[in-house]
Structure 1
Amino acid sequence: MGTRLLRDPINPGMAAEIQRRERDSDRTEKLFSHLLSYIHKALPDPPVSAAGRLSALLPHDDVDRVSRLPDSLLRDIVSRLPVKDAARTAVLSHRWRGVWRSAPLVLVDNDLLPVAGTAVSLHDARHVPSAVSRVLAAHPGPFRCIHLTTSYMEKFQGPLLRWLQLLAVKGVQELVLANRPWPLDLRLPSVVLSIATLTRLYLALWKFPDTAGLPKTTSFPNLRELGLCSVVLENCVLDFILARSPVLETLCLQSNMLMDRLTIISPSLQCVHVIASYNLEITVEKAPHLERLIIWVQSTCKGGSRNSNTVKIGIGHAPALSCLGYLEPEYHTLQVGGTTIKTGTKVSPRTMVPTVKILALKIRFGVRSEAKMLPCFLRCFPNVETLHIESKKTAESTSKLTLEFWEQSGAIECIRSSVKLVIFQNFRGDDCEIRFLEFLLKSARMLSKLVIVYGKDTFTSLTEVESIVEPVFDLIWASKCCSLLLVASALAEGDGLEILNIRRGSDLSINDPFAFAGEV
């Protein structure tokens, strides 16, 4: 379900400050509209749709069969309707009035906006808070889902506090709450942390409530999914939440400020997404049920206060970890157990994570130091079966890597004995990419499929790509039953592939969250 964005998403005071630094106001507005769009794509869709299709009755059939259904089924139907349609069912009959009041209601403030048009004016948006207040006051609860993303919460802090107080009393399962977005340091009322019925909570563009004064008994007994998008919070606050969420399964962090460390200690977490993080050190300390650690678009401060240009990705006690990526030597220093992985690190059981079956890496093949770390990373995961490698652009190549360079790096257990599928993303036809592919095909005895995905704007035709990869056919491949597939990417590089994968990553029924249709 798409979210309509306001025409003017910038608080006037913040806009004035930005324009002092950036005189191009149109460019500034586009920048923050893009920010809003990026964040809203990360938010979960509400469990309703206004696009349902109705079927006509047969001629002369005027029997009201719907009203004959059991109350439990009628409540389920009403709970899946947009809030306006759900409220209208109350006028059908006395029985339907009771159904509406007892159904776990879904309230999406986007459904309260005018239907026409894709953009929403500030004038239209001002009517939303009063409509939300009426619905929350009129319905006794519980609420299945509350999805509030259209209002400038700075202007409606009083109503927001009352909404959260009502939800704490009446109960809500899923809550998505986004600011509009400025000021970014607008603090969310701490009463949100007292809603014990929450199973899913997504917050965007807020300053997280202060947890220092909360009772030690504060807990989130039913919370299974938590998403924090562009939220201002410190490390200790997230530690507080994780320690008090005994059934939390999915954690999604996107562009959060003040955090420079994520320590994963959880008896229940199964999936962790980290999106567009900056200088964030990640350590899986104790997570017995963690299956997926997915890191998208990480960056570091070059030459900053740290003595290194990289941040640590540490894997400790994670006996169920089967899917990991993207690791990037440009930004990451890998630590397994207590050992930091370097080019001279000797392979041992203490430096291995044998449970990982799906591994994703981003490499600048033109940077020699990063290319040298690729075998070091791969040796830490001896049982990988699916390997994703994304070739990153290099501003200036530091060396030309030959086939001998890769062969001299020594044996890589997963390449030699377990890798069955390799998907090579962003292929540009560089010589260093070809040399790596030659090494791969000469070494991978279990490889059954190599997929080379090239940028849609990189080559003029498939024939051109075929001519570039032709040298690999002159080799003797280690696998006798390997196929090679060339695929044009549906997206240009930088089009936001990570956003498309957010929902895939937490859906454990999807075996490989890094793969898309047409690649496998």
Structure 2
Amino acid sequence: MRDDAMAKRIRFDAESRRQELPVGGGGGEGGGPDLISRLPDEVLGDIISLLPTRDGARTQTISRRWRPLWRAAPLNLDVDDLSDEDHKRIIFATKILCEHTGPGRRFSLIGFRLHNRFDKIDGWLRSRALTGLREIEFSYEFQISPLPRPMPPSALRFAPTLCVAEFACCSFPNEMVPELNFPHLKRLSLRSVTVSEDALHSLLSGCSVLESLSLRYIVGIGRLHISSQTLRSIGVSTAWSDSDTNPIKFQELVIKDAPCLERLIPLDHGLVPATIRVMHAPKLEIVGMLSVGISNLVLGTTVFQEMIALKLTTSMRTVKVLALDSLGPNLGSVVDFLKCFPCCTLQKTMKNTLTYNSLDPIECLEVHLKKVIINNYHGMKPDAGFAKFFVLNAKVLEEMDFGLSCSYNDKWMANQRRRLQVDNKASPGARFAFGHSYAYGITFPIFSKPDPFEWKNRRLFLRSASLLN
């Protein structure tokens, strides 16, 4: 009798476990037990916190085993993910923050229409469910206004725990900044934010492990001086010029001391500080898009004014990718940049011709330059003359891409072959490809990809390429 009772108890326990474990995703035919459900609560909680908000909440319906996990997992709350309607988003976000026990992992509130809901937002940010928050994305709805809406000071209560912070379309509470430290913040993005120069410098000085900094359309600062032992990526752009809403123009960026800096990227064409000085950045690898909008560019002791070299004394051999943008006839200027950055790959939109003096070789052309992108290529004599310089002189060139701003046919391609002199190319293995004119953009975050310059619609005409090889 005892053995029968024990057998029944074993069968009962086994059946109970089968009911608790959802079926599917196993190795057997027709699905087996969901082995994921056997993972510890802490691991399952981390998985849930990485899911979109609605998907994370839906895990409560999987089984009794999963039911309590979402409320205890680090909260990932994306308010925009809750609904397409504002009033429903408010209802759902409020309910989640009341029911969840925390801690917080990520809170995202993007493009929120204020409509006198400041107290509601402040209440959300003070919720215990967001305690220990690691990532925050906060912005109001974008609008042109002389009076930027203030960011709730409660958004900065997470300073001790934040690792990622993105703020946009608001004014910064300047009086709070000097008292704050961000000991874990690695990525900071400010876009269309009004902040005083002193407050921004204080903010950056409180970020002791910051690696990526993005400043777009910042209002209220004239100069920014950066010294950081940890920064690896900097992206900047100025605000649109408006004497009424933006009386202070972002004029100067100075990189005083950045021993780990790898990327320096002006983020928006035409919206760049007039002066950029790089005093110490020994690991810089990616630079650009540089343009004539930068009136004064100082790299060590080398000086460029509106893309024209006035003094060439510094050679930055660490730079591997250089992006230039100009409409003027200035191939000579490009060559000067290649002398300053002898190991770079070149991406640009420039025109003109220049004779290469083999008795005065350019190291970049002789041993380093492997890829060139020419955008807005029309195929006329000035364009072809510019491109031909690299066809005939880049000894290790592997790939040359042309973004076309014109239609083409077989006759056009034959003419290009003659103009570019591809039969006399300096690099036997060089490949040439033509495609649509590339729409230039920056990929964000700018530190996450090997090459942050994104050339959209980059479809290459292989038929055209074969005609030029």
Match of 2:16 in 1: none
3-state DSSP of counterpart to 2:68: helix
Match of 1:445 in 2: 395
3-state DSSP of counterpart to 2:391: helix
Is contact 1:129–1:156 with CA below 8 Å preserved after alignment? no
Structure 1 residues 240-249 or 86-95, which shifts more?
86-95
Mapped pair 1:506 → 2:466: no
Mapped pair 1:254 → 2:224: no
Question: Comparing both structures, which one devotes a greater share of its residues to strand?
Answer: 2
Match runs of 1:297-446 below 5 Å: 297-299=268-270, 311-341=274-304, 343=308, 345-348=310-313, 351-364=314-327, 367-368=328-329, 370-384=330-344, 386-391=345-350, 401-404=352-355, 412-446=362-396
What is the distance in 2 between the residues matched to 1:357 and 1:477?
A: 23
Q: Identity over aligned residues, as a percent?
A: 28
Is contact 2:331–2:350 with CA below 8 Å preserved after alignment? no
Deviation of 1:266 (Å): 1.3
5+ residue gaps, structure 2, are: 1-22, 241-249
Match of 1:235 in 2: 197
Is contact 1:429–1:465 with CA below 8 Å preserved after alignment? no
Match of 2:18 in 1: none
5+ residue gaps, structure 1, are: 1-53, 115-123, 302-309, 393-400
3-state DSSP of counterpart to 2:194: coil
3-state DSSP of counterpart to 1:345: strand
Question: Judging changes above 3 Å, is the alpha-carbon distance between structure 1 residues 69 and 416 closer, same or farther for their aligned structure 2 residues?
Answer: closer
Deviation of 1:264 (Å): 2.6
What is the distance in 1 between the residues matched to 2:30 and 2:135?
A: 43
Is contact 1:459–1:465 with CA below 8 Å preserved after alignment? no
What is the distance in 1 between the residues matched to 2:182 and 2:434?
A: 45
* Letter matched to residue 195 of structure 2: L
Q: Which has the higher contact order (CA 8 A, sep 6+)?
A: 1
Match of 2:108 in 1: 147
Q: Could you tell me which of 459, 483, 504 is aligned with 2:407? A: 459
Deviation of 1:170 (Å): 1.1
Structure 1 residues 284-293 or 153-162, which shifts more?
153-162
* Letter matched to residue 69 of structure 1: L
What is the distance in 2 between the residues matched to 1:320 and 1:165?
A: 41
Q: Could you tell me which of 410, 413, 433 is aligned with 1:486? A: 433
Match of 2:70 in 1: 100
Mapped pair 1:194 → 2:136: no
The normalised TM-score by structure 2 is 0.79
Match of 1:284 in 2: 255
Q: Could you tell me which of 230, 233, 236 is aligned with 1:268? A: 230
What is the distance in 1 between the residues matched to 2:321 and 2:185?
A: 28
| Aligned alpha-carbon RMSD (Å) | 3.4
What is the distance in 1 between the residues matched to 2:253 and 2:162?
A: 26
Mapped pair 1:178 → 2:139: yes
Deviation of 1:102 (Å): 1.8
Deviation of 1:113 (Å): 0.8
What is the distance in 2 between the residues matched to 1:261 and 1:462?
A: 53
3-state DSSP of counterpart to 1:206: strand
What is the distance in 1 between the residues matched to 2:176 and 2:154?
A: 12
What is the distance in 2 between the residues matched to 1:428 and 1:134?
A: 58
Question: Judging changes above 3 Å, is the alpha-carbon distance between structure 1 residues 138 and 430 closer, same or farther for their aligned structure 2 residues?
Answer: same
- Number of corresponding residues: 423
3-state DSSP of counterpart to 2:379: coil
Is contact 2:110–2:139 with CA below 8 Å preserved after alignment? yes
Question: Judging changes above 3 Å, is the alpha-carbon distance between structure 1 residues 245 and 435 closer, same or farther for their aligned structure 2 residues?
Answer: same
Is contact 2:49–2:73 with CA below 8 Å preserved after alignment? yes
* Letter matched to residue 201 of structure 1: A
Question: Judging changes above 3 Å, is the alpha-carbon distance between structure 1 residues 101 and 295 closer, same or farther for their aligned structure 2 residues?
Answer: same
What is the distance in 2 between the residues matched to 1:244 and 1:454?
A: 47
3-state DSSP of counterpart to 2:170: coil
Question: Judging changes above 3 Å, is the alpha-carbon distance between structure 1 residues 292 and 63 closer, same or farther for their aligned structure 2 residues?
Answer: closer
What is the distance in 2 between the residues matched to 1:324 and 1:167?
A: 43
Deviation track 1:67-98 (CA, whole Å, cap 9, x = no partner) reads 43332332133223333343344456654343
Is contact 2:401–2:432 with CA below 8 Å preserved after alignment? yes
Match of 2:38 in 1: 68
Is contact 2:190–2:218 with CA below 8 Å preserved after alignment? yes
Question: Judging changes above 3 Å, is the alpha-carbon distance between structure 1 residues 66 and 219 closer, same or farther for their aligned structure 2 residues?
Answer: same
Match runs of 1:53-64 below 5 Å: none
